[in-house]
């Protein structure tokens, strides 16, 4: 039997993003304290109990096949950001600024796939 060299990496990428987004704690450069309310699965407004919160979901994946066996993989990740404040626009703006800071600071990051092999994200585009 052949050895599997490729596994789906979708959940590994989402979990790595969740770990990074949990750093939003209201200290230093961050405006909002998420109290680690970041989940690797999609929830809708009526399912969210604690605010602010972020929920992620892996979306469509495409591949680009290049020469020498090189494959570039592109995946959309949906982030739903929830706030419940008197001034929701300002609160959401602050949360989105924090999210953008985390994504820009970690645009190249590593994660672990299902076989516990360290993989790398080459670029995160917002």
Domains assigned to the chain: 10-121 (3.30.2000)
What is residue 105's predicted lDDT score, i.e. its pLDDT? Answer: 95
What is residue 79's predicted lDDT score, i.e. its pLDDT? Answer: 96
Tokens of 51: 């605010």
Tell me: pLDDT of 1 over 60: no
96-117: burial string, b at 16+ Cβ within 10 Å, e else: bebbebbbeebeebebebeeee
**Percentage of residues in the chain having pLDDT higher than 70:** 94
Residues 32-87: tens digit of each pLDDT: 999 999 999 998 889 999 999 999 999 999 989 999 988 888 999 999 999 999 99
How far is 14 from 28, CA to CA, in rounded Å? Answer: 25
What is residue 5's predicted lDDT score, i.e. its pLDDT? Answer: 63
What is residue 49's predicted lDDT score, i.e. its pLDDT? Answer: 94
pTM: 0.88
What is residue 2's predicted lDDT score, i.e. its pLDDT? Answer: 55
């Amino acid at each position: 039997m052949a050895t599997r060299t490729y596994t789906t990496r979708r959940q590994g990428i989402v979990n790595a993003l969740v770990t990074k987004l949990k750093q939003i704690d209201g200290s230093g450069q961050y405006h909002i304290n998420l109290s680690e309310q970041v989940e690797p699965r999609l929830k809708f407004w009526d399912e969210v109990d604690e605010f602010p919160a972020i929920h992620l979901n892996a979306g469509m994946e495409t591949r680009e096949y290049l020469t020498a066996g090189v494959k570039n993989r592109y995946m959309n990740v949906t982030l739903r950001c929830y706030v419940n404040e008197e001034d929701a626009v300002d609160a959401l703006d602050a949360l989105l600024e924090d999210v953008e800071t985390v994504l820009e600071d970690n645009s190249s990051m590593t994660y672990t796939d299902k076989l516990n092999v360290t993989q790398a994200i080459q670029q995160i585009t917002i």
